[in-house]
């Protein structure tokens, strides 16, 4: 309103805006030139602008010092004119106050609706056809504006609050909170493996799984502490000290090293002959720690080369998603070598992971890019099928296991130590809804009878 008034150059229009019939009338009544009159009005308008610019968000409008009273020696018409200006200022202030109150009410209603909807609003957006991610970003931008305009908030949705704040992540603080002694073992093992990786040529690992090409192995190894501490903690709760543990798919050997140093008798099995020379140093380290390292070429993927019922526990970490056709054969092989009353610990990516939902909603695949898989050597060793938490539980029940524990958690997002905006919203959504988290981990007991 003020800017539009200042932009006017027609003196009669400007005088009319301020309640004066015409500039000529004002000039003749008060005895000074039109230029001086409009200079005074411009000064008054500048005062209005300065005062309006002092409105502060989100704590409510704060107007500056009141307009000074008109000097006593000014003719009556000018006093009336300035009174009109003051009235204009008051109307502007009232309008701005009402606009702020309306914005505050709208923003509060928005955050309350978002809190009530929980994850439902994200699911609804995910079902929209193309452009869902852009619409989500627009929603977050609008929500951030609303939160910025809002004063101190009462109860609000966690996802809504995340837009206006920064979330700091520390994966090692998370592992220490889970189990401090095991976290120390995990950190030691991962740092040793990172050193070995630096001295090894790991490109061969991508030969049958091309999405691994250029992978950040150091980040993967360190963040996997969040996985391995959980797995080892499950064994601590379920097994007496010692005991024989088979790690099916031991890869870099981080979990096997942890378990051996925690006093377990460990057998580590993987396709180390095929991986050679990439993981030769890792195999040497495991053997130096007393781990029995076995190759699938010798015992078979069905574990036929191992004695039946010979292990107190089997850990199968991020393996089942790589199995083609059916997971039944893998689970039957594990069941054969597991003692009655023994424990199976298994983790696998969650197909219903928050970020995968958005990839699918945006038309992107959640699997390896086709252009990479198309050129891979056979057999393809990437992810053939991923599972939901309900499906993992179903598999444990289907093989007749009992005392099933199942949990979900995130680990790769901890590679970002600071989350804002979209990532903060998604992190809060996963905190509120376990089915949206990245990984599934389960422990189940083979019946004793």
Domains and CATH numbers, the chain: 2-98 (no CATH), 108-163 (no CATH), 168-445 (3.40.50.150)
User: Which of 12-26, 166-180, 235-249, 278-292 is the least confident region?
Assistant: 12-26
The mean pLDDT value for 49-62 works out to 47
Q: Which pLDDT score is estimated for 369?
A: 85
Most confidently modeled of 18-32, 135-149, 360-374? 360-374
The mean pLDDT value for 329-342 works out to 98
288, 256 in Cβ contact below 8 A? no
Q: Which of 235, 411, 197 is nearest to 316 (CA)?
A: 235
Q: What is the pLDDT of residues 383-405, one digit of tens each?
A: 999 999 999 999 999 999 999 99
Q: Which of 87, 108, 90, 88 is nearest to 98 (CA)?
A: 90
d(CA 35, CA 114): 56
The mean pLDDT value for 83-107 works out to 65
What's the pLDDT band for 302 if we cut at 50, 70, 90?
very high
The mean pLDDT value for 358-375 works out to 87
Q: Pseudo-torsion of CA 180, 182, 184, 188, nearest 10°? A: -170
Distances (CA, A) of 224 to 5, 34, 218, 409, 437: 64, 79, 10, 12, 15
d(CA 412, CA 185): 20
In 215-275, at which residue ranges do the beta strands (DSSP E only) sit? 244-248, 265-270
The mean pLDDT value for 85-107 works out to 65
Check residue 252 and report its DSSP letter: T
d(CA 163, CA 46): 37
Q: Which pLDDT score is estimated for 40?
A: 59
Q: Which pLDDT score is estimated for 282?
A: 98
What's the pLDDT band for 44 if we cut at 50, 70, 90?
low
Helices then strands (H, E): number in the chain?
21, 9
Contacts of 199 (CB under 8 A, 6+ apart): 281
Q: What is the pLDDT of residues 271-288, one digit of tens each?
A: 999 999 999 999 999 999
351, 387 in Cβ contact below 8 A? yes
387, 321 in Cβ contact below 8 A? yes
Q: What is the mean pLDDT of the chain?
A: 78
d(CA 123, CA 137): 14
Q: Pseudo-torsion of CA 22, 27, 29, 30, nearest 10°? A: 140
Q: Which of 243, 283, 238, 281 is nearest to 259 (CA)?
A: 243
Written as one string, the DSSP assignment of 388-420 is: -HHHHHHHHHHTT-EEEEEEEE--GGGGSSEE-
Range list of H helices, 118-215: 120-126, 132-149, 158-163, 171-178, 180-198
Q: Which pLDDT score is estimated for 138?
A: 54
Written as one string, the DSSP assignment of 14-53 is: HHHHTT-S-HHHHHHHHTS-HHHHHHHHHHHHHHHHHHHT
């Amino acid at each position: 309103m003020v800017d539009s008034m200042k932009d006017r150059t027609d003196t009669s229009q400007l005088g009319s805006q301020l309640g004066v019939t015409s500039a000529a009338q004002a000039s003749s009544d008060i005895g000074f030139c039109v230029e001086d009159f409009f200079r005074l009005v411009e000064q008054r308008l500048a005062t209005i602008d300065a005062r309006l610019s002092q409105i502060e968000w989100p704590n409510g409008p704060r107007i500056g010092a009141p307009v000074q009273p008109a000097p006593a020696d000014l003719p009556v018409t000018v006093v009336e004119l300035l009174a009109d200006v003051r009235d204009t200022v008051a109307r502007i202030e009232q309008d701005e106050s009402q606009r702020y109150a309306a914005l505050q009410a709208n923003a509060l209603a928005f955050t309350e609706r978002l809190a009530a909807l929980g994850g439902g609003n994200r699911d609804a957006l995910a079902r929209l056809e193309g452009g869902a991610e852009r619409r989500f970003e627009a929603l977050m931008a609008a929500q951030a504006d609303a939160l910025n305009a809002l004063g101190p908030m009462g109860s609000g949705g966690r996802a809504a609050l995340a837009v206006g704040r920064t979330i700091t992540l520390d994966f090692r603080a998370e592992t220490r909170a889970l189990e401090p002694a095991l976290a120390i073992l995990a950190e030691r093992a991962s740092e040793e493996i990172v050193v070995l990786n630096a001295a090894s040529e790991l490109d061969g690992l991508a030969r049958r799984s091309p999405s691994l090409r250029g992978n950040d192995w150091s980040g993967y190894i360190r963040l996997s502490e969040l996985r391995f501490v959980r797995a080892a903690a499950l064994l601590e709760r379920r097994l007496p000290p010692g005991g024989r543990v088979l790690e099916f798919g031991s890869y870099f050997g981080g979990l096997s090293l942890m378990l051996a140093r925690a006093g377990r008798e460990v057998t580590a099995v993987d396709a180390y002959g095929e991986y050679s020379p990439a993981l030769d140093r890792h195999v040497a380290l495991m053997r130096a720690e007393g781990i029995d390292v076995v190759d699938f070429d010798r015992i078979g993927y069905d574990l036929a080369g191992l004695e039946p019922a010979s292990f107190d526990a089997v850990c199968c970490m991020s393996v089942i998603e790589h199995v083609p056709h059916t997971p039944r054969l893998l689970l039957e092989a594990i069941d054969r070598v597991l003692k009655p009353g023994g424990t199976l610990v298994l983790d696998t990516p969650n197909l219903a992971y928050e970020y995968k939902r958005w990839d699918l909603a945006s038309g992107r695949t959640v699997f390896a890019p086709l252009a990479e898989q198309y050129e891979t050597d056979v057999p393809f060793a990437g992810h053939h099928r991923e599972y939901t938490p309900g499906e993992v539980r179903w598999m444990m029940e289907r093989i007749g296991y009992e005392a099933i524990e199942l949990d979900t958690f995130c680990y790769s997002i901890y590679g970002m130590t600071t989350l804002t905006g979209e990532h903060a919203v998604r992190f809060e959504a996963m905190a509120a809804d376990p089915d949206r988290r990245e990984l599934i981990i389960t422990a189940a007991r083979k019946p004793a009878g």
